[in-house]
Amino acid sequence: MTLFHIAFYRFVPLPDAADVAERLRGLAEGLTGSVLVAAEGVNGTLAGPAEALDAFEAAFTADRRFEGLLFRRSACTTPPFARLKVHHRAEIVAVGQGTAMGGTAVDPLAWRALLDRDDVVVLDNRNSFEYRLGRFRGAIDPGVRNFRDFPAYVEAHAAQWKAEGKRVAMYCTGGIRCDKTSGWMSGLGLDVLRLEGGILNYFAQVPDAERDWSGECFVFDNRIALDTHLQETETTLEQVYGDDPADAWRLARARRLDAAA
């Protein structure tokens, strides 16, 4: 039986977030993965047979607040998850900033041209260990150990970027981290561009993505990393986190999750 992985998110007001989470537990029964629900929206990754995922998507989007929701789907060799977890949280992305999207969404085909511009700062909106594993050419690593570190980096450099007339083109794995921070960054007076659908959408839409991407893309599940053709690689957890003491807790947690799979 072929397994498939889906990823989805939407920022939408959910005053009944706890009830939505409970409903999702029922709709996703028989699937594995993780879904976060908060007053600001929903963020999920699930895995299962195609028919079961089809049924989940149809039932979930029957709620008009999620009508037209994009589900990014890919085939899996390794089962991505061991169990199902649906949680009601304060945020679906823990950064402590507002949720309003700002700036301009850039489709994958237009993104390539930005990488060649002198008036653009290409900013990796992920953790440093993800950047080390793979990145777009010319991208800057903000040195983030925790996503809440990202705003501090932006605040420290915003004045310089504005003085130099630079636009900020940022990217993340699936787009949600950029969506979460883009409105706040625009509020600082920055001209913000964000890669629509993130790295994984770029891989899906651009056949020769390896021209612009060096390395692999880390994914937060048992597949560990994907290449530019969305195929699982042979990269290990030890290779991802290396021997950096600051990432030792991530490696230990990942090993526990892998052992439970």
Q: How many CB atoms lie within 10 A of CB 103?
A: 21
Instruction: Tell how strand 72-76 and strand 3-11 pair up.
Output: antiparallel
Measured CA to CA in angstroms, residue 241 lies from 95, 143, 149 at distances of 22, 14, 18
Which of these, 125, 144, 138, lies nearest to 185 by C-alpha position? 125
CB 198 within 8 A of CB 125: no
Q: Which helix (H) or strand (E) holds 6?
A: strand 3-11
Beta bridge partners of 44: 8, 35
Amino acid at 222: N
Region of residue 138 (left: phi > 0; alpha: psi -120 to 50; beta: else): left
Q: Token digits for 62?
A: 């029957």
- Known catalytic residue at 76: no
The one catalytic residue among 76, 172, 178, 217: 172
Residues with catalytic roles: 172
